[in-house]
Amino acid sequence: AQSVAQPEDQVNVAEGNPLTVKCTYSVSGNPYLFWYVQYPNRGLQFLLKYITGDNLVKGSYGFEAEFNKSQTSFHLKKPSALVSDSALYFCAVRDIGFQKLVFGTGTRLLVSP
Amino acid sequence: ETGVTQTPRHLVMGMTNKKSLKCEQHLGHNAMYWYKQSAKKPLELMFVYSLEERVENNSVPSRFSPECPNSSHLFLHLHTLQPEDSALYLCASSQGTPASGYTFGSGTRLTVV
């Protein structure tokens, strides 16, 4: 079965510093990978996705993600963190049969002023 | 506004009550989902509907009863709930193709007293 793992429950970073939120995947076949962000008491919002093509994917709010096939990773990155980036981030992969997304456990990002 | 609307936003109900959660999308998507999000737990997929047919039921207790009368509407009927059912209930929709992600609603915060 397709799966993703987010090894960090929380990531702390100072405002202005680069941030990375880690995700590794396990799939049969081609991976279709996604990142979502969730602010308190809200639904998840789409950030970006990798389907095929360039390994560096650019998304909303200045975020980008690097697809690395050899390391089976899809880490989320941003060159300069903002306090407003503090939220819960989810990595996800399309399941076989494409009926659903399989989500990771989420990583809380805390950006300090 | 994401294109997926959930009502109500907040709901407090007693254990003997019957209530319904509503989800509506006008994005032309053909798949809809119910998720449960509890504090400090991973997202739990409850039900998947594709083309108005239930295609997945993840061992959800019978006190939760989904209904999908058409491709734009999804309901979750609740009866005789338990306090541990208190959570954020998220609805999502998708085109159901490999490259399509989910669009989430803002959720219904349910408190069972």
Residues of chain A below pLDDT 50: none
Measured CB to CB, residues of chain A less than 8 Å from chain B are 32, 34, 36, 41-46, 49, 51, 90, 92, 94, 98-101, 103-106
Omega before residue B8 within 30° of 0, cis: yes
Question: Residues 7 to 66 of B: which have CB under 8 A from any A CB?
Answer: 31, 33, 42-43, 45, 48, 50, 55-56
Give the Cα-Cα-Cα angle B90, A52, A86 (nearest 5 degrees): 40
Residue of B nearest to A44 (CA): B104
* Percentage of chain B modeled with pLDDT above 90: 74
Q: Say yes or no to pLDDT of B89 above 70.
A: yes
Dump pLDDT digits (tens) for B36-85.
Answer: 999 878 899 999 998 888 877 778 999 999 999 999 999 999 999 999 99
Average pLDDT, chain B: 91
Q: Is A64 helix (H, G, I), strand (E, B) or coil?
A: strand
- Give the pLDDT score at B59: 85
